[in-house]
Each structure stands twice: as C-alpha cells, then as structure tokens.
Amino acid sequence: MTPRPEAPVVAEPDLLVIAGPGAVAQRQSRIWWFALGYFACYVPYSALTKALSKGYIGDPVGGPQIVPISVAASMISMFAVLSLLRWWRYARHIEVGGRRFPVPTRWTALSGLATAAIVITTTLAYTFEGVSILFAMLLMRGGVLLLAPVIDTLSRRKVRWNAWIGGGLAMSALVVAFAERSGYDISTAAAIDIAIYLLGYFIRLRLMSHIAKTGRREDDIRFFVEEQMVATPVLFAAIAALALWGGSDFTAELAVGFTSLWSVPSVLIIVIVIGLLSQGTGVFGGLILLEPAENSFCVPINRSSSILAGVVASVTLWLAFGTAPPSTYQLAGAGLVVLAIAALSLPSIIQTRRAKEAS
C-alpha cells in the first residue's frame, strides 16, 4: 500500500478563493448562510432529542438508546452528502490493488475522533434529567467561546481587545447560569459529558487552526472531508463494540438502541431524523469553523446559531408540550452570550462593511 501523488484539483468556481477588494466581504457573507443552515438544523435536532428522551412524544427513550440508530443515520448521510458534492476528490488518496481510496492524515483523523466525541456528547447533553436544553447550551457554547481566544493565542493568531471582552461576557453568562439553584444540581455524568465536549472542541479547533483555515478553499474542504470520514464511522464502530461488550447500564441501553427501536416505527423515524439533523449541524457548523477568519470571529458565529436555536427549541417545547419555559437566569445567560458574540464579531463586521464599500 503506497501513497500516490495527488492529482491536480480543478477548483470549481464556488470553491475558488476570491481576490480583490470584495474578497473579505464575499467570504464573510458566505459564513452567514452557513450559520442559517446550522440554526435550521439545530432547532428541530435539540427539540426532538429532548422530547423523545423525556416522553413528550410517546414513551421515554433513554439517551443511549437514541445514539446507535441516530449515529448510523448521520454516517450514511455523511457519505451521501460528500458524494453528492463530489468532495471525495479533495481528500488524500492511497492506491490499493490498482484502485484509489481516500484516507485521512493522522491529524485529520485525530480531529475526526474529537468530532466523534462532540457528536455523542451533544446528543447525550439534551437527555440528562434536570438539565434543560438552554442550560446545557450555555455550558457548552459559553465554554467554547472562552476557548476561542486561547486557541488563537496558541496558534499565534492576533487576539484583539474585543476577544477578551467577549470572553469576559461569556464567563459572566456561565456564572449567571450557575447562579440559578438548579444549576448546582448538575449530575456527575452531565458534567463529564460537557467536559468531554469541550475537550473535543479544543482539539478540533487547535488542529483546524494549525493545518486548515488557510484561505484556500481546497485545503478547508480536504480537512473537512478527511475529518468527517473518520468521525461517525469510528463512533458507530465504538458504540457497537460497547453494546456487544456489555457490563453496564449504559452499554445495555446501547444494545437496546440497536435492537428494540426497529419494532416501533414512529420512534425509529424520529431517531433517524435526529441523526440526519445532527449531521446537518456537523456539516454547517464545520464549514463555519473552517472559514479563514480567526477563531474569535468564527466560533461566535457558530455558537450564536446554536444559542438562538436553543431558545427557539425551548420555547417550542413549552408551547407544544407545556414544559417549563426558559428561566430568567437562562434567558439572561443567553443574553450575555449574545452580547459576547456581538463584542467578538464587531471588528470583522466593520471590516466587511469597509470591504463592501471599497468593492
């Protein structure tokens, strides 16, 4: 098995790096379309996961039971999306028996493993007892906002004054969220889940900053493809192995997810939809983060989409099923996150306006 030199990639018009005075404006216009797609997938994804796990639509289905089929749906849709976009050609390839196969590097494979951790911890975060959608989002999104300027510093990207203001506001949002009495009741399992989620994002963003985000669209797509081809297949193989291994309540529930949900078509369809929407958030979220702008801009755009989606999902569950509405603390925390996003995004928005005026 020997590496084969890459064939020249003929970039399609929408993948070319745009040159000229309007380049920044046009690239940053694209990021908002990605954010809209992320938001559109995240609202039903988080709402359906919470509703199914808590029994708002039929009998309750445990979080681990949701994972196997939803991950399988994500994996299949990932292969379908990359094939429809014809993006496999951007990956590195090896030749085996006269045929070429896409392969990741060790770094994109590591990013794929981090992404796998993010996928499963995100789904599980919305299934824990006593943890609302918005509270879980504040912990996860606020934490990643705090990571953004740190990763920019480690990557030797300039961290502007507004990044530190945004980080302070994000920290304030977490303090407000935990100021609510129920915030201190977060379970050990939920805390571990969120910690793994944040570690996954730290690794993923660090690797993106190191080997992608170059401004060459081909490099970004190559990273995305190689990362995605690892993430859900490895995650699916891991949960299958755990289900077969057994030995705990968690693995027993995974086994149920592989076998019993097929007998309940209505639940099966919802779990498949959750998986498809999860992959949608992965596609749009990843494309946002791979934009060549600094993490202190891309991360807030990514996080703002999900925070706003969390508010909409929480209100939707309240109106549709009579669940508890978002608390004042949670809404205040979300408001602080929005202010953090505004502070972090302001210089890039000003730059975009100037670029548009110059074009």
**Domain segments of the chain: what residues?**
2-6+34-358
Picking from 283, 325, 288, the residue whose alpha carbon sits closest to that of residue 303 is 288
Taking the C-alpha atoms of residue 281 and residue 54, their distance in angstroms, rounded to an integer, is 22
User: Is the per-residue pLDDT at 152 higher than 60?
Assistant: yes
Confidence of residue 26 (pLDDT cuts 50, 70, 90): low
Q: Which two tokens stand for residue 42?
A: 């995240």
Cα dist from 319 to 47, 105, 202, 251, 312, whole Å: 12, 47, 36, 34, 11
Q: 20-52 burial, b for 16+ CB within 10 Å, e for fewer? A: eebebbebbebbeebbebbbbbbbbbbbbbbbb
Highest mean pLDDT among 40-44, 171-175, 351-355: 40-44
3-state secondary structure the chain: CEECCCCCCCCCHHHCCCCCCCHHHHHHHHHHHHHHHHHHHHHHHHHHHHHHHHCCCCCCCCHHHHHHHHHHHHHHHHHHHHHHCCCHHHCEEEEECCEEEEECCHHHHHHHHHHHHHHHHHHHHCCCCCCCHHHHHHHHHHHHHHHHHHHHHHCCCCCCHHHHHHHHHHHHHHHHHHHCHHHHHCCHHHHHHHHHHHHHHHHHHHHHHHHCCCCCHHHHHHHHHHHHHHHHHHHHHHHHHHHHHCCCHHHHHHHHHHHCHHHCHHHHHHHHHHHHHHHHHHHHHHHHHCCCCCHHHHHHHHHHHHHHHHHHHHHHHHHHHCCCCCCHHHHHHHHHHHHHHHHHHHHHHHHHHHHHHHC
User: Is the per-residue pLDDT at 13 higher than 50?
Assistant: no
User: Is the per-residue pLDDT at 4 higher than 60?
Assistant: no
User: Is the per-residue pLDDT at 238 higher than 50?
Assistant: yes
**The amino acid at 238:** A
User: Is the per-residue pLDDT at 6 higher than 50?
Assistant: no
CB 198 within 8 A of CB 190: no
User: Is the per-residue pLDDT at 164 higher than 60?
Assistant: yes
Query: Residue 159 has what pLDDT?
Result: 65
